[in-house]
């Protein structure tokens, strides 16, 4: 039960940060393209890479991993929202921007994860 509470609390924190990030992106660049969701997926993947590499290097509890990786980062990253954003662009008839969004999000997130792994492994 304690592990579930860790995930739920972490997920709430991550979801709150995701919401604030999306609202900031809407104010900065407007609603015509899902910049906020794309940035969230890339940044979340980078942070996941850093966190997991640090956990592997320095050790860490299963509880910490549940709270941060499953909870906070799971609540923060938004591939379900990503799918909806893609579908929305597609249904608007914006096929090219939809595929650009998908490619940039997926490739950017993978590159960011490897960058996070590399950075964390490079630290003394």
Q: Are 24 and 91 in contact (CB under 8 A)?
A: no
Mean per-residue pLDDT for 89-116?
97
- In the chain, the percentage of residues whose pLDDT exceeds 70 is 100
pLDDT, tens only, 44-90? 999 999 999 999 999 989 999 999 999 999 999 988 889 989 999 99
pLDDT of residue 79: 87
List Cα–Cα distances, 16 to 2, 11, 43, 48, 102, in angstroms. Answer: 21, 8, 15, 17, 24
Mean per-residue pLDDT for 20-43?
95
CA angle in degrees (0–180, nearest 5) for 114-29-13:
55
What average pLDDT does the structure give for the chain? 95
- Provide the residue ranges of all domains of the chain, joining segments of one domain with +: 2-122
Consult the annotation and say whether 88 binds a ligand. no
Q: Are 97 and 36 in contact (CB under 8 A)?
A: no
pTM for the model: 0.82
Q: Are 18 and 78 in contact (CB under 8 A)?
A: yes
pLDDT of residue 124: 86
pLDDT of residue 7: 97
Consult the annotation and say whether 21 binds a ligand. no
Give yes or no for residue 92 having a pLDDT over 90. yes
Q: Are 19 and 37 in contact (CB under 8 A)?
A: no
Confidence of residue 8 (pLDDT cuts 50, 70, 90): very high
Which one-letter DSSP state was computed for residue 66?
Answer: I
């Amino acid at each position: 039960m304690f592990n579930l509470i860790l995930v739920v609390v972490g997920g709430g924190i991550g979801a709150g940060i995701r919401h604030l990030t999306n609202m900031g992106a809407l104010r900065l660049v407007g609603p015509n393209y899902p910049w906020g969701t794309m940035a969230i997926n890339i940044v979340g993947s980078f942070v996941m890479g850093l966190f997991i590499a640090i956990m592997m290097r320095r050790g860490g509890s299963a509880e910490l991993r549940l709270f941060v990786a499953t909870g906070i980062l799971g609540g923060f990253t938004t591939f379900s929202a990503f799918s909806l954003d893609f579908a929305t662009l597609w249904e608007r008839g914006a096929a090219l921007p939809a595929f650009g969004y998908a490619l940039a999000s997926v490739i950017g997130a993978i590159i960011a994860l490897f960058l996070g792994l590399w950075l964390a492994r490079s630290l003394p």
